[in-house]
Chain A
Amino acid sequence: MVAAAAMVLAACTPADPAGGDRTIKVAYQKTDSFTALDTMFQDAKKEFEAANEGVKVDLQPIQANDDDYGTKLALALRSPSTAPDVFYEDTFKVRSDVDAGYLLNLDSRLSGWGDWDKFDAGAKEAGKADDGGTYAVPLGTDTRAIWYNKKVLGAAGIGLPWRPSSWQDILDTARKIKASQPDVVPFNMYAGKGTGEGSVMQGFYELLYGTGAGLYDPDSKKWVVGSAGFKDSLTFLHTLYAENLAVPPAEALDPNIWKKVFGEWFPKAKLGATVEGSYAPSFWQKGGNYAWPEYGQDMAVAPFPTQDGTAPGAVSMSGGWTLAVGAETKQPDLAFNFLTTALNARNSLAFTVNSSQIAVRKDVAADPGYQSGNPFVKDVSDLVAVTRYRPATSDYPRISAAVQEATEAVITGSRTPEEAAADYDAAVAGIVGGDKTIRK
């Protein structure tokens, strides 16, 4: 009943509080550990209101985690009277939100914007829909790598800098750490439903895409089932957790485990290594949530290796966020102009550095302020060459949940890797239909 009531409340919409013609509503995410975007919009609001007399920018930060932000935004977009004019949009939701008719096609406006040529061509792809049109402007991107504590690896007698060449290398190193420092977690990899999308983005997909297998076959537009790579990836997780090289399963399923990784275990040298995003320094740098002045000396980055070292030798996953304009905005020109102010070189640079993003504007990428933003900018930016993106179809959230369930089943030991892989295959067939799966 509560759920039914919530849905109805979501469907009802309050009257537009602005009512006027010259107000731009801006919706975006803000959390206690993610304020860089709020800062960017505050600056852009001042700049834009000063340049356009009589225009008011109504900032509407949504305090929620990624999942809940997506839900709240989608609910607001369902009705034209609550839909924001400009909003922060996850790259992997762009396609399905364009399908839903939520996003305004920006092609004609972008061609008149001088700065558009300064955006990286690869990053621009993230804002394109199936019809080839561009509906969103990239804000930044990220990559994923192994972050390791040099003190812990050094104490275990591992040669530094560490660059594992295969999965076996990771296990060997983790076992050495375990042997030399029993109270340290040697190698953590997120898994299970607790950490949600984090379990697959910085965890399972680094394994899966390093086996030569994949999640989705773009040529046949079918989902891959029954691959040896899927089973091998689950087996790796199983080994890691069964040998206590990662955290206890009960702890891995806590949605807040990442806070301990960043705030407690790495700074206190209680964790050897983990797979995390390129944005990791944003937590540790000055003003970050878990400020740690020594992180530049104590931490280091290594690319995640492929299963047995086959070319290209490294795997990374990328996501990233964009800004988009609502399809039913009453003043599309004003909204687009605000978007260009928010994403101009100065604001982009400040945001990219504050949130440890990988730049998508070439002028920002070349800026000395960006390159010296944190000690790892070059390491993580180089991974753009090998990085992968999630298949952004509307079935993806369910597929991702099925992958998370498979990882949870193996780390808790409730299913063997073979059984969990078979469960996953059955789940995928149930989600997309047997004719949309392909055995590889």
Chain B
Amino acid sequence: MPASHRTRHALRYLPVLPAVVLLLVFLAGPVLWAFHASLTNAGLTGRHARNPDWVGLENYQRLFQDPVFPLSLALTLLFVAGSAILGQNVLGLALAVLMRRARPVVSATVGTAVVAAWVLPEIVAAFAAYAFFSRDGTLNQLLGSVGVAGTDWLYAVPMAAVVLANVWRGTAFSMLVYRSALGGVPGELTEAAQMDGAGAWQRLALITLPVIRGSIATNLMLVTLQTLAVFTLIWVMTGGGPATGSTTLPVLAYQEAFKFGDIGYGTAVASVLILIGAVFGAVYLRLLREQRP
């Protein structure tokens, strides 16, 4: 009977309904609201605060002519490439591989140290990183104790400082993902390769990595999207400065929307950021799909 068949068909989706509703309300809702606001001249105060006018793509036009935008975009990509794709991802994999070979005591100690940074709330981690890199901070004191003159890290190399801080803070996640992925690599496979005379690097490159390819893509997607959105860490450490030296897109969006009270323009920046996240997401999803025969 087609009618009861259709009912049963519909009922099958019932369990996912709450999840879908939650996603719509808390994910699609804000995204749509931000996109809508970016097409208006809504402000925090002034005439357009409560009665914004529709301005079409004016905010985007302004954004693409703004000399800060390409710089900010480049800094965002640098931040993601440096701290997520290279930093957290590669370092997490290296730690996971090494920990399998290390003695349990060493492995547990390293694991605890790495996870400790991840457990900290973002604001606490940000202040800790600030205290480490600042002028009178831990790093300069350590350097001073061995007779090396430090510098003003947050001023001289702001991007390097925030990238390192984000690597420190986020590597634990990649490490945990890869530890569990490596646990799933069949022992016979690596043993067989070893019997055939494959060295350690060859086994890693030709056996282990292809087997855990799905985990790599998933991990890359998660850390990339998380890193794209990092705001607190940068805001606390450098405030986006000096000048615009570490103004990534989230910092730019915040400054425009809340410091200059231009909600329309700020949400335009945020919408572009969402778009970049979507592009990264699509690329990784493709990677995930390709691995299936």
Contacts and interface: CB of A to CB of B under 8 A. Distances in A.
Interface in A314-349: none
Interface stretch (A3-11, A33-41, A207-215, A284-292): A3-11
B270 A253 contact: no
Contact of A102 (B34, B49, B152, B231): B49
A194 to B, nearest CB: 7
Contact of A394 (B46, B259, B263): B46
B231 A394 contact: no
A165 B56 CA distance: 54
Tier of interface size on chain B: 35 or more
Interface in A91-115: 93, 96-97, 99-102
A412 interface: yes
A97 B45 contact: yes
B45 A4 contact: no
B45 A394 contact: yes
B274 A74 contact: no
B267 interface: yes
A71 B243 CA distance: 21
A4 B30 contact: yes
Contacts, number: 119
A369 interface: no
Interface residues of A, number: 40
Contacts of B269: 3
A93 B155 CA distance: 32
B48 to A, nearest CB: 8
Interface stretch (A51-59, A120-128, A401-409): A401-409
A3 B45 contact: no
Contact of A1 (B241, B257, B277): B277
Contacts of A11: 33
Nearest to B263: A7
A78 B277 CA distance: 29
Interface in A239-265: 249-251, 253-255
B229 interface: yes
Given A1-B273, A2-B250, A4-B270, A93 B239 contact: no
A75 interface: yes
Given A7-B267, A253-B241, A255-B239, A78 B49 contact: yes
A7 B270 contact: yes
A67 interface: yes
A293 interface: no
Interface string A6-31: 11100100000000000000000000
Given A194-B239, A405-B243, A71 B47 contact: no
Contacts of B231: 2-3
Contact of A397 (B241, B253, B259): B259
Contacts of A101: 49-50
B54 interface: no
Q: Pick from A4, A71, A251 the residue with the most CB of B within 10 Å.
A: A4
A405 B34 CA distance: 29
A397 B260 CA distance: 6
Interface of B is mostly: helix
Contacts of A4: 30-31, 33-34, 253, 267, 270-271, 273-274
Nearest to A93: B45
A150 to B, nearest CB: 28
A74 B135 contact: no
A398 interface: yes
A193 interface: yes
Interface in B136-194: 152, 155-156
B243 A408 contact: yes
A131 to B, nearest CB: 13
B267 A397 contact: no
Given A2-B231, A8-B30, A75 B250 contact: no
Contact of A398 (B29, B225, B260): B260
Interface string B217-232: 0000000010011110
Contacts of B271: 4
A100 B33 contact: no
Given A100-B49, A253-B241, A397-B261, A2 B229 contact: yes
B92 interface: no
Interface of A: 1-8, 11, 67, 71, 74-75, 77-78, 93, 96-97, 99-102, 192-194, 249-251, 253-255, 394, 397-398, 401, 405, 408-409, 412, 414
For the complex of A and B, list the 10 residue pairs with the smallest distance between their C-beta atoms, beginning with the closest: A100-B49, A3-B253, A8-B30, A4-B34, A394-B46, A250-B152, A4-B270, A250-B155, A1-B229, A74-B44
6 contacts: A3-B231, A4-B274, A8-B30, A74-B44, A250-B156, A398-B260
